[in-house]
Amino acid sequence: MIIPYFVIIPLSAAFLIALISRKKENIAAGIALIVGIVLTIMSIYSFILLSKNEGAIYYHFSNWKAPVTISLVLDYLSSFILIIISVISLIAIFYSLQYTNHYTGKWQYFALFMLMISGMNGVALTGDFFNFYVFMEITLFSAYSLVAFGCEAEELEAAFKYAIVGSISSTMILFAIGLLYSFTSTLNMADVGRVLLNEKSKVIYLVYGMLIAGLGLKSALVPFHAWLPDAHPSAPAPISSMLSGVLIKVLGTYAMVRIFFNVFNAPQIFLQIMLILGTFSMVIGGLMSIMQWDIKRMLGYSTVSQIGYIFIGIGLGTPLGILGAIFYLLSHSIFKSLLFMNAGAVEYALDTRDMRQMGALNKKLPVTSFTSMIGSLSISGIPPFNGFFAKLIIIIACIQSAHPIYAGWAILVSIITLAYYLKMQKHTFYGKPNFKKIYEKVPFTLKTSMIILAGLCIISSILIIPGIKEVTLDKVTQVILDKTDYIEYIRPLIMGGK
């Protein structure tokens, strides 16, 4: 049974690194890289395993009787998220091998990285609210520490803001979980869902509100976004790529989908709120991005904008809308991780994030320039890259579900997105050189990581090809939309102790 090892392996690696890598820090990097490779193989295998198992796989710890026992659930949705976590983490670890050469305490960096992966994997797999909260806090503790890793004033301030906002959102989520327990007498997600099928209490609307606010803060949805443009730019580049590319999607987007669709049966009020907040996020994030000169801050606001597309797809609640949302979640994880790594490579070479102090870097940093162009075209929705197909699916879903106004906003924001990424390209890689000198050459691991992600921007588009889509994205979509199936299938497994 591989399910618990998604949590156990990186958690053990974190402690192992802390024990043996203090004097030989390269050992820490080696352990982290091996763990990244193993988890990537395991996550892909888990998806294949589900196709043979014809349903979810359930695992519980200890001899406690259900539904009290600590439970982990592997289905197509959690497996899909595990693949995203593992692949992006592996590339970020490889990027970090040489990027962290200027940092002291590399072993702490990789130990915290392993702890963050363990927490995210736990969030993706957990089948109960108590351990969802525990794994979420493990992830956030690691993230706060990694944002502050450089120990400069800006980084410490950003980490402090992130920790304050994170604590507020966690308190809201904990309060909501407490309310749920007060009138369901269980914390197991499938069991909570069973109770709520016949529960008409108005208290549930307070739970909805607390969870939307708490998880909205984790997702950086407008109006819960203010922390992100400070936290993500201040972190080391590979951590920025993890935060924007993976973490906010696991703690925010995935958690919201799992809870509101599989447990709460997708209430209409939730779908309406997601459409509204998704639209505001797209527009406000896009307008803020176009005004930025700090390249990483621009990317931070861009994340606020692009996450809106995912929530519009979720808010539609239709098969095509959900399909577009999960494909855009995957696509954004790839190209936003790439763009943050591009920004990290430029900062590594020039020691600045101000685009006005760059220019004409296409010849000095050709790999960074080329891969950055691919990332920019992908996020702007230009064919044949993954972002184009994901946005197209969401736009078509809006029109099919009689919401043409949301389709119009999606198209408009794509034009705005193209505008600020063309601005980035012009001032960073083309035009007149405004930098003093190249302080450092971009190392091999940075270049290789960027090339791999640029390739994935194209390769991942095959997932929408008929024949492939049915055994990948459609499987994930089905788990989300078959709302009561999660309850009806998982609960017998829990009660049977299998």
Q: Are 139 and 7 in contact (CB under 8 A)?
A: no
Side-chain half-sphere CA neighbours of 159 within 13 A: 20
3-state class (DSSP) for residue 467: coil
Q: What is the dihedral of CA 262, 267, 270, 275, to 10 degrees?
A: 100
Give the tokens for residue 331: 């696509």
pTM of the model: 0.93
Is 54 inside any structural domain? no
Residue 179: exposed, middle, or buried by beta-carbon count in 10 A (0-12, 13-18, 19+)?
A: middle
Is 144 inside any structural domain? no
- How much is the pLDDT for 497? 46
Give the tokens for residue 459: 């390769």
- How much is the pLDDT for 489? 61
| Count of domains for the chain | 1
- How much is the pLDDT for 435? 80
Is 303 inside any structural domain? yes
Is 70 inside any structural domain? no
Residue 257: exposed, middle, or buried by beta-carbon count in 10 A (0-12, 13-18, 19+)?
A: buried
Domain that holds residue 425: 267-464
3-state class (DSSP) for residue 30: helix
Is 315 inside any structural domain? yes
Which alpha helices (DSSP H) does 290-403 contain, by range?
295-316, 319-350, 366-379, 386-400
Is 137 inside any structural domain? no
- How much is the pLDDT for 498? 41
**CA distances, 338 to each of 91, 93, 100, 219, 345 (Å):** 10, 13, 17, 19, 10
Q: Look up residue 71 and give its DSSP letter.
A: E
Q: Look up residue 260 and give its DSSP letter.
A: I
In whole angstroms, give the CA distance from residue 178 to residue 412: 41
Instruction: List the pLDDT tens digit at each of the 498 positions of the chain.
Output: 789 999 999 999 999 998 887 777 789 999 999 999 999 999 999 999 988 876 788 887 766 655 566 788 899 999 999 999 999 999 999 999 999 888 877 889 999 999 999 999 999 999 889 999 999 999 999 999 998 887 677 788 888 888 999 999 999 999 999 999 988 888 888 888 888 877 777 888 999 999 999 999 999 898 888 888 888 788 899 999 999 999 999 999 999 999 999 998 888 999 999 999 999 999 999 999 999 999 999 999 999 999 999 999 999 999 999 999 999 999 999 999 999 999 999 999 888 888 998 988 888 999 999 999 999 999 999 999 999 999 999 999 999 999 999 999 999 999 999 999 999 999 999 988 888 777 778 999 999 999 999 999 999 999 999 999 999 999 999 999 986 566 666 655 555 544
Is 146 inside any structural domain? no
- How much is the pLDDT for 487? 67
- Sign, Cα dihedral of 97, 158, 133, 285: negative
Is 150 inside any structural domain? no
